[in-house]
């Protein structure tokens, strides 16, 4: 659509011309309950100043129709000024008032105002999701982060609903007729358009309160709310959510010295959400999968707590102080990712949060930083499509890792004092990189410009490798050096504050650290003088304690030790770092997939950290499905399934480890014997002591049976009858698309690629069922069709659905040079395609090339 993809240059020009004084937004949502009604009434009044009277600008609005446009009392013809994405405004005055009345569309893609009808009880639920630029689907506005303004919201909706906005409700809802009411909300502090929010529907609501007394005698009261759909209320553990919320607010008040500035704090768990959560001030929205319908491991509760704290950190980093443009997205996301783990470890029961960060979050960063689309933490974002794709592992996890390195570099106190000054200096404003660096230079006395150039303004990940020379006569280290490497494409060598641990087995057989040094590593080779003379180690672990961001390599002695004794490594953080390093070796084609899987089968059963264990299970799938040599893949799958079943039977009954192994076993089961066991666990003919086969686990057991052709449509229908809910519907769609039939695959392809009738959640479920690793031959015909279809999909769908289709249907299971050639041909023939689309195809192509290199490494190991 013309004008839909706002550019950075356009935003900069507009920001230099106008100043926004305030918005009044009126939404009439009474039509939402009529599912055949596609639109709702939206009326926006915006008051703004113009630095150069007589100039022109535009407001953003994506809507089926505009009814009226009034500028400074002048009626404008919508047919002349509205192009579907922008309303042109000419001959501006020094001060202006614009009113736009429009019919805006309810969404089924999770963008704008999403409408969901609960299949369990027929109730309708609404919520908004705007980042980076979808508030223009709900009301007319200047859709860029540096044009902040106060917002006054009014909503008319069915009288029985709960309606929430960013601000607190102003008085009681006013009746409108017999079955509707109007809610008015207090005017907010200045905020960016993308973090305004509305939640409306018959939500189940629980209430609590947070209070805080400060040293100066002032007292802060924050009303707390937690919401979910009514049909999920029986599963809703709001007490735990409130506990983490209060702990987080205490932590951030202790460390930020800036009281929570947004009044109330509601947290809504909403259906068919595209992301984990969104930091709307006073009204945070989460995906409702964080309301656990069945038994989950401690890792799931830890993950939820981390997300709660991540979004809470945004109330300061991102909402109070906001990046001027999406180039500096890291100024909010990197900080929130870091603060999520930081506060979780220090303020909640999840004291192992840094282990999860080292093992899981940084794996996301390492992958993203080796793709052709890698970019500096401070990125170069030309337009909104670029911005959408920049919510990636670099911006989140690498940025957070760099901040952890920054804390080691400047010190914790200087870092936190810099944050406090940053909030006070820029409250309710917008910033760039240099604004943060200036306060950190003040508080630390360090050269932040040089640090920024190395860590924030260059791309790529360094590798650190130990090089040890021994005094054989005395069994001691003569010299230990750290070698730093970088890729040819991104050759920057960075300064690292890094810990080096020396490990050996003690009398108990445990592999324990007996010596440690912390040093600044720079350049190609750094000698660690502090460890000269130390007794000869069995394992040298670089980046012990995970202070920096790097790929860790091992010397041969250390790798031999790990092959035999990884399970003896006593410290859980050290084990997590070792597993991560081994996985990076496997991804890089330096460690055969079969050797990695062999170590996993020998030692994963001894892993105490449930989050690390579940990450190992995830990596095992990639190793089997993509990195194992094709002629060994079946044998590898058999060995992994046997190992998974062995660990399932050995796990403590009723434990999280048992549940994790049960899910993993189901996902790798393939033999007739394995499938009979799954069938027996479903019908009660088989039992694993202590394993509760609840509804979510039933779906996990049914999908492989369907994918292998052991169960079919009738069994899926019967399971849906047991679980006729929104979650059950998604599972049903996924299972049906997983059936091993050419007709089924054709229907799934049609539903996702050739029509636009499915909601975002059902698109995701259909793609997940369609792309089965054990159905490579069935999927082969869709590789050429993929490259023929994606340009049209990108042009005709919303960016959220376009991303899901282009990523999810990339022919990743057709790992042969012909697929690489097809991807290269598409990229060469579509040089003028949108940059975001080319990025997604290039990333899929790179993953496929990496898989082929890893398969070659694995094949050589088996030769």
- Where does the pLDDT of residue 2 fall: very low under 50, low under 70, confident under 90, or very high at 90 and above? low
Of 302, 311, 607, 764, the catalytic one is: 311
What number is the average pLDDT over the span 579-601? 98
Q: Which of 172, 202, 232 is the last residue of a domain?
A: 202
Please check whether residues 132 and 143 belong to one and the same domain. Answer: yes
Asked if residue 132 has a cis previous peptide bond (ω within 30° of 0), the answer is: yes
Please check whether residues 45 and 159 belong to one and the same domain. Answer: yes
| Residue 408 confidence (pLDDT) | 85
Please check whether residues 188 and 214 belong to one and the same domain. Answer: no
Strand pairing class (198-201; 162-165): antiparallel
311 is catalytic: yes
- Asked, for residue 14, whether it belongs to a domain, the answer is yes
Total-model pTM: 0.96
Please check whether residues 276 and 369 belong to one and the same domain. Answer: yes
| Residue 447 confidence (pLDDT) | 87
Which residues fall within 8 angstroms of residue 551, CB to CB, at 6 or more apart? 366, 461, 462, 463, 464, 581, 584, 588
- Asked, for residue 155, whether it belongs to a domain, the answer is yes
What number is the average pLDDT over the span 73-101? 97
| Residue 1 confidence (pLDDT) | 54
Which of 198, 264, 268, 266 lies closest to 229 in space, CA to CA?
Answer: 268
Please check whether residues 138 and 262 belong to one and the same domain. Answer: no
Please check whether residues 52 and 156 belong to one and the same domain. Answer: yes
What number is the average pLDDT over the span 54-64? 98
- Where does the pLDDT of residue 472 fall: very low under 50, low under 70, confident under 90, or very high at 90 and above? confident
Instruction: Please write the tens of the pLDDT for every residue from 198-225.
Output: 999 999 999 999 999 998 889 999 999 9
Which of 771, 775, 849, 835 lies closest to 804 in space, CA to CA?
Answer: 771
What number is the average pLDDT over the span 514-533? 96
Share of residues in the chain with pLDDT > 90 (%): 96
String of b and e for 755-782 (b: at least 16 CB within 10 Å)? Answer: eeebbbbbbbbbbbbbbbebbeebbeeb
Cβ(521)–Cβ(482) under 8 Å? yes
Q: Which of 558, 585, 612 is the last residue of a domain?
A: 585
**Taking each helix axis from N to C terminus, what angle separates 330-347 and 298-314, rounded to the nearest 10 degrees?**
130
Q: What is the DSSP string of 157-205?
A: EETTSEEEESSPB-SSPEEETTTEEEEEBPPPPSB-GGG--EEEES-EE
| Residue 727 confidence (pLDDT) | 96
User: Can you tell me the distance from the alpha carbon of 229 to that of 236, in angstroms, rounded to the nearest whole number?
Assistant: 9
- Asked, for residue 820, whether it belongs to a domain, the answer is no
Cβ atoms < 10 Å from Cβ of 363: 20
- Where does the pLDDT of residue 474 fall: very low under 50, low under 70, confident under 90, or very high at 90 and above? confident
User: Can you tell me the distance from the alpha carbon of 18 to that of 16, in angstroms, rounded to the nearest whole number?
Assistant: 6
Strand pairing class (124-129; 86-89): unpaired
- Asked, for residue 686, whether it belongs to a domain, the answer is no
| Residue 479 confidence (pLDDT) | 96
Q: Which residues pair with 44 in a beta bridge?
A: 25, 100
Please check whether residues 151 and 63 belong to one and the same domain. Answer: yes
Cβ(372)–Cβ(312) under 8 Å? no
- Output the domain CATH number for residue 438: 1.10.390.10
Instruction: Please write the tens of the pLDDT for every residue from 706-760.
Output: 999 999 999 999 999 999 999 999 999 999 999 999 999 999 999 999 999 999 9
Cβ(59)–Cβ(115) under 8 Å? no
| Residue 862 confidence (pLDDT) | 87
Which of 96, 107, 21, 12 lies closest to 62 in space, CA to CA?
Answer: 107
Helix (H) or strand (E) holding 631: helix 630-650
Which of 542, 536, 578, 576 lies closest to 557 in space, CA to CA?
Answer: 536
- Asked, for residue 170, whether it belongs to a domain, the answer is yes
Instruction: Please write the tens of the pLDDT for every residue from 372-407.
Output: 999 999 999 999 999 988 889 999 999 999 999 899
Please check whether residues 370 and 509 belong to one and the same domain. Answer: no
Cβ(770)–Cβ(809) under 8 Å? yes
- Asked, for residue 730, whether it belongs to a domain, the answer is no
- Asked, for residue 746, whether it belongs to a domain, the answer is no
Q: What is the DSSP string of 237-294?
A: -HHHHHHHHHHHHHHHHHHH-S---SS-EEEEEESS-SSSEE--TTEEEEEGGGS-SS
Cβ(751)–Cβ(758) under 8 Å? yes
Instruction: Please write the tens of the pLDDT for every residue from 146-187.
Output: 999 999 999 999 999 999 999 999 999 999 999 999 999 999
- Output the domain CATH number for residue 9: 2.60.40.1730
What number is the average pLDDT over the span 564-579? 97
Please check whether residues 245 and 157 belong to one and the same domain. Answer: no
pLDDT exceeds 60 at position 132: yes
Please check whether residues 495 and 448 belong to one and the same domain. Answer: no
pLDDT exceeds 60 at position 675: yes
CA 101 to chain centre: 35
| Residue 307 confidence (pLDDT) | 98
Instruction: Please write the tens of the pLDDT for every residue from 793-851.
Output: 999 999 999 999 999 999 999 999 999 999 999 999 999 999 999 999 999 999 999 99
Per-chain mean pLDDT for the chain: 96
Q: Which residues pair with 228 in a beta bridge?
A: 204
Helix (H) or strand (E) holding 843: helix 835-862
Distances in Å between the Cα of 221 and the Cα atoms of 218, 253, 264 are 10, 13, 8
Enumerate the H helices of 684-816 as residue ranges: 695-707, 713-722, 726-737, 742-749, 760-770, 776-779, 782-796, 799-808
Dihedral, 336, 342, 348, 351 alpha carbons, nearest 10: 130
- Asked, for residue 807, whether it belongs to a domain, the answer is no
Domain extent, residue 490, equals: 462-548+550-585
Q: Which of 202, 233, 249 is the last residue of a domain?
A: 202
Q: What is the DSSP string of 733-748?
A: HHHHHTSS-HHHHHHH
**Domain count for the chain:** 3
| Residue 39 confidence (pLDDT) | 98
Structure tokens of 697?
Answer: 């686990």
| Residue 863 confidence (pLDDT) | 79
Question: How many angstroms separate the first and last alpha carbons of the chain?
Answer: 55
Please check whether residues 143 and 248 belong to one and the same domain. Answer: no
- Output the domain CATH number for residue 531: 2.60.40
Structure tokens of 139?
Answer: 């009301």
Structure tokens of 815?
Answer: 């790992």
In the sheet where 124-129 sits, what is the strand order? 112-117, 124-129, 198-201, 162-165
Tell me which residue has tokens 């390599």.
553
Please check whether residues 61 and 31 belong to one and the same domain. Answer: yes
Tell me which residue has tokens 């006054």.
152
């Amino acid at each position: 659509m013309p004008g839909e993809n706002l550019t950075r240059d356009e935003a900069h020009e507009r920001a230099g011309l106008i100043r926004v004084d305030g918005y009044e937004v009126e939404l009439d949502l009474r039509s939402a309950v009529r599912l055949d009604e596609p639109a709702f009434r939206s009326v926006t009044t915006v008051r703004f100043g113009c630095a150069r009277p007589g100039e022109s600008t535009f407001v953003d609005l994506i809507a089926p129709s505009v009814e009226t446009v009034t500028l400074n009392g002048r009626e404008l013809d919508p047919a002349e000024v509205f192009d579907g994405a922008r309303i042109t405004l000419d001959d501006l005055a020094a001060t202006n008032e614009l009113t736009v009345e429009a019919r805006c569309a309810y969404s089924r893609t999770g963008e704008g105002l999403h409408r969901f009808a609960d299949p369990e009880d027929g109730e309708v639920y609404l919520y908004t999701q705007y980042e980076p630029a979808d508030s223009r689907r709900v009301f007319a506005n200047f859709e860029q982060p540096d044009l902040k303004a106060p917002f006054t919201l009014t909503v008319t909706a069915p009288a029985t609903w709960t309606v929430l906005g960013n601000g607190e409700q102003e008085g009681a809802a006013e009746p409108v007729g017999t079955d509707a009411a109007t809610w008015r909300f207090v005017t907010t502090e200045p905020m960016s358009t993308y973090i305004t929010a509305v939640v409306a529907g018959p939500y189940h609501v629980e209430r609590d309160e947070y209070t805080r007394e400060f040293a100066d005698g002032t007292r802060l009261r924050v009303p707390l709310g937690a919401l979910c759909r009514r049909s999920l209320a029986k599963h809703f553990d709001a007490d735990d959510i409130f506990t983490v919320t209060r702990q987080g607010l205490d932590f951030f008040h202790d460390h930020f010295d800036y009281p929570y500035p947004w009044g109330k704090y509601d947290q809504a768990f909403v259906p068919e959400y595209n992301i984990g959560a969104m930091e709307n001030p006073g009204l945070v929205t989460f995906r409702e999968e964080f309301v656990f319908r069945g038994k989950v491991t401690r890792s799931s509760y830890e993950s939820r707590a981390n997300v709660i704290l991540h979004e809470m950190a945004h109330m300061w980093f991102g909402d109070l102080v906001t990046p001027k443009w999406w180039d500096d997205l890291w100024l909010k996301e990197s900080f929130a990712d870091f603060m999520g783990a930081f506060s979780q470890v220090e303020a909640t029961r999840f004291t192992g949060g840094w282990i999860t960060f080292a093992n899981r979050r940084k794996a996301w960063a390492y992958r993203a930083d080796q793709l052709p689309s890698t970019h500096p933490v401070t990125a170069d974002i030309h337009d909104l499509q670029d911005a959408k794709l920049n919510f990636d592992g670099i911006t989140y996890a690498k940025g957070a890792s760099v901040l952890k390195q920054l804390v080691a570099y400047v010190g914790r106190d200087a870092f936190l004092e810099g944050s406090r000054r940053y909030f006070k200096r820029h409250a309710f404003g917008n910033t760039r990189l240099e604004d943060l660096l200036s306060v950190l230079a003040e508080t630390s006395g360090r050269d932040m410009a040089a640090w920024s150039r190395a860590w924030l303004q260059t791309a790529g990940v360094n590798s650190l490798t130990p090089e040890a020379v021994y005094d054989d006569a005395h069994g001691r280290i003569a010299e230990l050096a750290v070698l730093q490497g970088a890729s040819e494409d991104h050759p920057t060598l960075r300064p690292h504050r890094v810990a080096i641990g020396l490990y050996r087995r003690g009398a108990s057989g445990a592999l324990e650290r007996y010596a440690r040094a912390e040093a600044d590593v720079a350049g190609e080779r750094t000698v660690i003088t502090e460890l000269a003379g130390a007794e000869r180690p069995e394992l040298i672990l670089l980046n012990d304690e995970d202070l920096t961001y790097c790929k860790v390599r091992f010397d041969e002695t250390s790798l031999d030790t790990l092959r035999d004794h990884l399970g003896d490594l006593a410290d859980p953080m050290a084990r997590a770092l070792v597993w991560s390093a081994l996985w990076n070796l496997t991804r890089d084609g330096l460690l055969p997939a079969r050797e990695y899987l062999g170590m996993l089968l020998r030692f994963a059963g001894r892993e105490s950290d449930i989050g690390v264990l579940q990450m190992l299970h995830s990596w095992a799938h990639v190793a089997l499905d993509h990195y194992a040599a094709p002629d060994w893949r079946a044998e590898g799958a058999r060995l992994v399934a046997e190992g998974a079943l062995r660990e399932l039977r050995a796990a403590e009954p009723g434990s999280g480890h048992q549940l994790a192994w049960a899910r993993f076993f189901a996902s790798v089961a393939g033999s007739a014997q394995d499938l009979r066991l799954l069938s027996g666990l479903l019908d009660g003919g088989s039992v694993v002591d202590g394993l509760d086969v609840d509804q979510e686990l039933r779906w996990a057991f049914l999908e492989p049976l369907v994918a292998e052709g052991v169960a079919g449509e009738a069994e899926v229908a019967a399971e849906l009858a047991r679980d006729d809910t929104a979650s059950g519907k998604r599972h049903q769609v996924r299972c049906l698309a997983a059936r091993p039939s050419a007709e089924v695959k054709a229907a799934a392809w049609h539903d996702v690629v050739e029509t636009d009738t499915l909601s975002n959640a059902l698109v995701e479920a259909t793609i997940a069922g369609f792309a089965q690793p054990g159905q490579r031959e069935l999927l082969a015909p869709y590789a050429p069709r993929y490259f023929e279809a994606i340009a049209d999909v990108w042009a005709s769908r919303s960016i959220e659905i376009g991303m899901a289709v282009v990523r999810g249907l990339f022919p990743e299971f057709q790992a042969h040079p012909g697929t690489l050639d097809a991807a290269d041909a598409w990229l060469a023939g579509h040089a003028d395609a949108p940059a975001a689309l080319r990025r997604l195809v290039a990333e899929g192509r790179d993953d496929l090339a990496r898989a082929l290199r890893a398969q070659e490494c694995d094949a050589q190991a088996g030769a």
